[in-house]
Structure 1
C-alpha cells in the first residue's frame, strides 16, 4: 500500500523519540504469576500506565503534531469519543496549547467526562450530544466542517497508526531480543496495524496473536468477507475494543493476518480476568486492557516455553462497574445462576424447596413473577454458591420433586429483562 512507505520504520522510531516530551516509555514488566501459570516467560507492556491510562495518547499526539507541522495555523481539533480517545486528545490539546472540542454521547459516565475535562483543562470543550455514538459522531463531523477544525479519528488515520507503532518500538528497546509471541487487542485496528507494520519490518519472526471481544469481532468478520463489514450489533461491554466496523486503512495491514491468529474472548470470562488481575496482582485493567491476558488459556499450548509479551492496552476502569464485573464473572465460573421456579401453591412448599439448598447455597434474588395462579406460582430465583458442582446436586433434587424449573442464566433476552 502506497500510504505505508518503506520509511514507516524510521517514522515510528522518530515518533517514539518525540513522545518522550510527553511521558517516559511505559514499563515492560515480567509477570511471575502468569509465567508460572502458563509455563511461559510472560511480560506485560503496561499501556495502562501512560498519563491517560491507555495507549491512545500516542496516536493523538502524532496526528496533532503532524497536522500542526503542515498547517501551523490549525488550532482547532475535534473528536468523537466516550472513552480513551477523548482523554488522549484532551491531554494532547493542552500539551500543544490548541483548542479541542470533544463530542461525547449523553449517556457517557460522569467519571469519563470528569477525567477528560481534567486532562484538557481550559483547552477543551465537551459537548454531550446523542444517545448513541453514531449520532455523536455525526454531530462532531458536521461541527468540524462548519468550524474549520481538524477531525481526529481514533484509529483510521495514517498518523494515528504510526503513533501507535511506538508501543512496538518501546517494547523491543526494553526487551532486547524480540519476543516469540506478542498478544494484543484489536478494536478499530490502530494499535494492531501499527505494531504489525513495525514488527513485520524489524522482527518478522515474532508471531502476533490478535484478540477481539466475542461480541465485537469486526476483524474476524472482515477477514471472512475479504473487506471491512459492519456488524449488525455489538456487545458494548468491552467498550475500548468493541467496534462495529474495522478501519479501512487498518484493514489494509491486517487483511494478511491468518484467521487462526485472531482469537475471540468471551465478555463474561474477561470479567474473571479483570477480577483475577486485581485480586492477585493489584493491576487495574479495563475490559479491553484485559483482552491479551484473558486469551492466554486459549493459546496455552502455543506459548508454552516461549517468551510472550501481552499488551495491557488500558486501565480506565470505572469502579461503579465492579458489581457487574463480579456478576458476569460468577456466571461464567458457574457459581451463580438464575432460575424460574414453578412452585406448587400448597402449605410447606417453600420450606420444602429451602430444604433442598446446600450449606453453601445462598439465595440472592427471590421474586414472585405471577401471583394470580391458583395452583402454581412462578418465582425468579438467583442463587450463588461456592462450587459449580453444587448446582448439579440442587437440580437433581429438584428433578426428583414436583417442582419444575428453567435455568435462564444464559438466556440474554430474559436476564436483561428480568435481572
Structure 2
C-alpha cells in the first residue's frame, strides 16, 4: 500500500503542514519528557544495519500516551475545565489522562473495563490522586467507551479521545520532532506501532512535512490489523474480534482523522505475529535491560521483518518503543515464545521405533543441536512418539533437522508453527486415552472473569462428557482453553448450535495432525 506523499488536502482537509504547526505549538513538555533515541548495538550488529530505539517507555507513565492526553487537556477553556473531562481506556491512555488531570487541576472520570489489569487500575488512581475517579464498567474497551459517552452527557464533561483528535495527534507528533532533531543524518525508515492510529498519524505527517525521503512504516499485530485492512479496502473497517496479547493496540476500528492521515503519509503497514513480538521484547531487553509491553515492541518486530525481506539498509532504522506497562504474569509466556519468534527453536513430534538403539540414532540425528524440550511417555509397544524442542542458530535449520530425522527412518511432524502444539500439547504428552470415545477437541478464548467457565458448563448438553481440559494463565485478558467433549456423531448438529450460541471465540482442532498423533486413541 503506497502512500500519497503530496501535501495537498485530503477529503477531510488534513495536511502534514497543519499537523506540523500544531505539533510545534504542543504543550507536552510541561509534563512529558524529551525521550532518548538510543542505539540498539547488539541488534544492529546482528542485522548489519543501524537500529535506533525511541524510548517512549521512559515517560512518567511509561507510555507515549501522556503527550496527546496532556496536550488535549491543556487546550480546554475555563468553562470546560470546570466541568471536567472523561475518558475510556484499558490502560495507557487512562494513565496519561490521570497524570494530566493532576498537573492541570482538572477533575477526570476515567472508565476502564472490569478486565483491565489491576496494575493499570492502581496506576491510574496513583497518577490522578484526588483529581481522578475510576469507574469500572463492561468487559471490553467498547463497553467502557459506551459508558463513558453516557457519563459525558450526564456530567457535561469533555471527552478526551485516545487517538481520533487533532490535539491528541499533535501531542503524539512531537515524538517525530524529537527524533528528527536527535538524528539529523541519514534515516531510511521509522517504524511505528498502530492501534487506533493517533501515534502514527502524527509521526507520519511531521516526517513527511520535514523529511519526505524517510519511509514511515506502521506495524500491527496480525490479529488486530484494523489499519492495514482499512488501507487495503480504501475505507475504515470494523473488525469482529481482535487479539488481546498486544492489548495496547487492540482496536477494532481506527479513527476517521487517523485513517485520513495514514492514507496520505504512511508508506506501508506490516503485520507481525505473537512469536515475533515476543522475540522483539527480548531484543529490547538485551540492548536496554528494560522490558516493553507487547504493543511497545511491535515496531521493532516490524523493523526486523522489514530487514529480513529487504536486507541491510544504508540509512538508520528507528523503532518507537511505545510503552512498558507490562503485566508481570505475561513474562513466562514471552520467554517461552521468544525463541520460536526468533526462529531459534524448532519444535517437532518425532516417531521412532520402540526398540533398542532407537534413542541413540535419534540423538545422532540431532547432531550438535541443544535440546530445549523433550517430552515422552510410553504408550505403544511398537512406536515411541517424542515431543522435542531443538535450539537452532539460523533460519533454515529446522528443514535440515526434519530431513535428518527422515533419513534415519523416523516419522516427523514439524510443530514450530502449530499453535495447538505450542500452547497446549507440549504440556500434555502421554494423554492418549482409550476411554475418550467420540471426542471432539476445541480451543476456546474464555474471558478472564468470574463465571466464564460456569457459563460454558451450564449451556453444555448434560449428556456430553468433558474428556480433556487444559488451561494456563498467561496474564492476558482472555484465557486460552483446550476442551475435549465426548459427543456422539448423531449430535454434532446440536454441538454446532451450542458453539454458535455460546459466544466464545473457538477453533475446532479435532483434525489437527498433532492432536491425532499424540493424544487421540
TM-score, length-normalised on structure 1? 0.83
Cα distance in 2 between the residues matched to 1:203 and 1:6: 12
Write out per-residue CA displacement over residues 301-346 of structure 1, whole angstroms, 9 at most, x where no aligned residue.
366121332211112222221111122223433626375x9999xx
* Aligned with 2:286 (options 260, 279, 287): 279
Matched, 1:46 2:46: no
2:14–2:261 contact (8 Å) kept in structure 1: no
What is the match of residue 33 of structure 2?
A: 24
Unmatched 5+ stretches in structure 2: 1-11, 425-442, 444-469, 472-521
Cα distance in 2 between the residues matched to 1:263 and 1:119: 34
Matched, 1:265 2:272: yes
* Aligned with 1:10 (options 13, 17, 21): 21
Task: Specify whether residues 227 and 303 from structure 1 end up closer, same or farther in structure 2 by C-alpha distance, changes over 3 A only.
Answer: farther
Cα distance in 1 between the residues matched to 2:361 and 2:82: 71
1:343–1:377 contact (8 Å) kept in structure 2: yes
Cα distance in 2 between the residues matched to 1:217 and 1:366: 38
What is the match of residue 55 of structure 1?
A: 64
2:40–2:51 contact (8 Å) kept in structure 1: yes
What is the match of residue 256 of structure 1?
A: 264
Matched, 1:136 2:144: yes
Matched, 1:314 2:296: no
Cα distance in 2 between the residues matched to 1:131 and 1:356: 53
Task: Specify whether residues 258 and 155 from structure 1 end up closer, same or farther in structure 2 by C-alpha distance, changes over 3 A only.
Answer: closer
Task: Specify whether residues 111 and 186 from structure 1 end up closer, same or farther in structure 2 by C-alpha distance, changes over 3 A only.
Answer: same
Equivalent residue runs for 1:118-157 within 5 Å? 118-157=126-165
What is the match of residue 207 of structure 2?
A: 199
Q: For structure 1, which segment, 286-295 or 357-366, has the greater mean C-alpha deviation from structure 2 after superposition?
A: 357-366
2:371–2:391 contact (8 Å) kept in structure 1: yes
What is the match of residue 191 of structure 2?
A: 183
1:20 match: secondary structure: helix
What is the match of residue 233 of structure 1?
A: 241
1:172–1:178 contact (8 Å) kept in structure 2: no
Cα distance in 1 between the residues matched to 2:163 and 2:276: 26
Write out per-residue CA displacement over residues 229-284 of structure 1, whole angstroms, 9 at most, x where no aligned residue.
0122222211122322111110111113566x222222211101111221343132
Cα distance in 1 between the residues matched to 2:336 and 2:355: 26
TM-aligned CA deviation for residue 35 of structure 1:
3.0
* Aligned with 1:299 (options 302, 306, 327): 306
Unmatched 5+ stretches in structure 1: none
2:126 match: secondary structure: helix
What is the match of residue 385 of structure 1?
A: 390
Cα distance in 2 between the residues matched to 1:122 and 1:353: 69
TM-score, length-normalised on structure 2? 0.68
Equivalent residue runs for 1:81-120 within 5 Å? 81-120=89-128
Task: Specify whether residues 302 and 105 from structure 1 end up closer, same or farther in structure 2 by C-alpha distance, changes over 3 A only.
Answer: same
Cα distance in 2 between the residues matched to 1:74 and 1:11: 25
Write out per-residue CA displacement over residues 141-168 of structure 1, whole angstroms, 9 at most, x where no aligned residue.
2122112222211101121111111111
Task: Specify whether residues 8 and 296 from structure 1 end up closer, same or farther in structure 2 by C-alpha distance, changes over 3 A only.
Answer: closer
1:178–1:203 contact (8 Å) kept in structure 2: no
1:165 match: secondary structure: helix
2:303–2:319 contact (8 Å) kept in structure 1: no
TM-aligned CA deviation for residue 132 of structure 1:
2.5
Cα distance in 2 between the residues matched to 1:334 and 1:303: 20
Task: Specify whether residues 147 and 376 from structure 1 end up closer, same or farther in structure 2 by C-alpha distance, changes over 3 A only.
Answer: farther
Q: For structure 1, which segment, 389-398 or 154-163, has the greater mean C-alpha deviation from structure 2 after superposition?
A: 389-398
Cα distance in 1 between the residues matched to 2:208 and 2:167: 18
1:211 match: secondary structure: strand
Task: Specify whether residues 54 and 377 from structure 1 end up closer, same or farther in structure 2 by C-alpha distance, changes over 3 A only.
Answer: same
